Amino acid sequence: MKKGSRGVLLVVSMLVVFIAINFFFFVDSRESTENEENGDRSSYHSTPYGTLAYYTLLEQNGVAVSRLEKPYTTLKTAAEPGTLFVIAPPVKYNPSQEEFESLNKWVESGGLLIIIDREISLKIGDDLDVETSHADISSYVKPLQPTKYTRGVRRLSVSRFASHLKVESRSATLQIGDNQGAIVGDAKAARGRIVLITDPFIVANNGIGEEDNLALALNILEDRPPGGVAFDEFHHGYGAQGLIGSGGLLGYFKGTPVLWMIMQAVLITLLFVYTRGRRFARPLPLGRERRTTNLEFVSSMATITRLARATGLAMESIYSEFRRRLCRYSNLPPSVETSKLADAVSRRGKVGGPALSSLLARCEGIAHGDQVTDAEMLDIVTRIRECEEKLRI
């Protein structure tokens, strides 16, 4: 297996281990910290206190639902969306005064605003003022009068944190409540309308299937104005002010180990690139270009050898230069044994170890005085030059 393949396999193995560890030790912190009183009511959340089930139900029933991930100042007219759900946004994301003014204008222009929260303090126009107070539910929560909102509703299931409504408006209608006060009501606001529900449990994942809560959740949209239905997610931390950006893919994985896995994969990739881009050994010397051709060198040495009849001297000169280049190529000292030198060169280059070892041994013998013919001498020098060409030394 090549070094590069081993590196890739190591990185993939580390990534698989990290993924397994994340899934094995992951604990959804939302489920461990949330409760009925402080649960996150976002339509992105599938926890017991989220509203993803309600959002999905409307979507599957053909309602054009969407998520509003922009401030209320982007609500220009009641055409799109025609209906807006505001479900118990956290206090830290409370709308600004400018947003409230834009929301008032949107409602008065014909929009349907559905507020589901235990603490409501709202004033729209000159004749609509809404306040809530804690309700100690001691009797059944049932319809107070027959209306389009109470169709099919005999009894609601609410939590112990539900509130009572106090609505000051000539057009207010109290729809559902107990013996002490209303839980559900609505009122007109110029050309628009506001629906008020004081317990998010009614539309939450863990409450929408209780008693007749689902019937009420569908009834409040029966007489909605034209346009789509939007769930306010901007004031749950999504969109421009959210830490993760828009809902999208990253918002969908918020609170799961997937985001940590993505970060770990990026970290491993950067580490792999860093290690592959650095050399963890002593640097190799730069190659030097030869100023003479092989033919010129061989010709000169042949002439000298022929005139001086010094075959051993010529071979010693050729062999010493050849061996020096091999040592530098294999990053070994000049004193290394010939067999080890041949093995190191063959492992790195494209030459056979036994053939190279035999060539070096014969060169050493000739340099020390062994007899050699002119034809063998030429063959040895040719083999040396071919080896240099293959190794590019």
User: Residue 248: what are its φ and ψ, rounded to 5°?
Assistant: 40, -150
Find the mean pLDDT for residues 28-41. Answer: 73
- Confidence band (pLDDT; 50, 70, 90) for 349? confident
- The answer to whether the Cα torsion of 158, 161, 164, 167 is positive or negative is negative
Predicted TM-score (pTM) of this structure: 0.58
pLDDT reported for residue 314: 75
Tell me the per-residue pLDDT of 369-382, one tens digit each, with 9 for 90 and over.
788 887 888 888 88
Amino acid, single-letter form, for residue 80: E
pLDDT(244) > 60: no
d(Cα 148, Cα 121) in Å, to the nearest integer? 25
pLDDT reported for residue 239: 77
> Which one has a higher pLDDT value, 333 or 393?
333
What is the chain's length?
393
pLDDT reported for residue 24: 59
d(Cα 14, Cα 271) in Å, to the nearest integer? 12
Q: DSSP letter string over 38-77?
A: T----TT--STTS-HHHHHHHHHTT--EEEE-S-GGG--S
Tell me the per-residue pLDDT of 104-130, one tens digit each, with 9 for 90 and over.
889 888 899 999 998 888 888 777 888
Q: What percent of the chain has pLDDT above 90?
A: 22
Least confident of 63-77, 107-121, 300-314: 300-314
pLDDT(40) > 50: yes
> Which one has a higher pLDDT value, 158 or 247?
158
pLDDT reported for residue 245: 43
pLDDT(328) > 90: no
* Residue 334 CA, distance from chain mean position: 54
d(Cα 38, Cα 162) in Å, to the nearest integer? 13
Tell me the per-residue pLDDT of 75-84, one tens digit each, with 9 for 90 and over.
876 567 889 9
Least confident of 56-60, 141-145, 224-228, 345-349: 345-349
Give counts: helices (H), strands (E), the chain. Answer: 12, 11
Classify 228 as helix, strand or coil.
coil
pLDDT(219) > 70: yes
Mean pLDDT over the full length of the chain = 81
Least confident of 126-140, 223-237, 272-286: 272-286
Q: What percent of the chain has pLDDT above 70?
A: 79
d(Cα 286, Cα 29) in Å, to the nearest integer? 57
Neighbours of 154 (CB within 10 A): 11
* Residues 188, 170 contacting (CB under 8 angstroms): no
Greatest mean pLDDT among 16-30, 73-87, 111-125, 203-217 lies in 203-217
| Selection from 202, 221, 226 nearest residue 137 by Cα | 202
Ordered by where they begin, the domains of the chain are 27-256 (3.40.50.880), 294-391 (no CATH)
Burial, 111: exposed, middle or buried (Cβ in 10 Å; 0-12, 13-18, 19+)?
A: buried
Classify 248 as helix, strand or coil.
helix
Classify 167 as helix, strand or coil.
strand
| Selection from 123, 114, 204 nearest residue 156 by Cα | 204
Secondary structure string (H, E, C) spanning 183-217: EEEEEEECCEEEEEECCHHHCCCCCCCCCCHHHHH
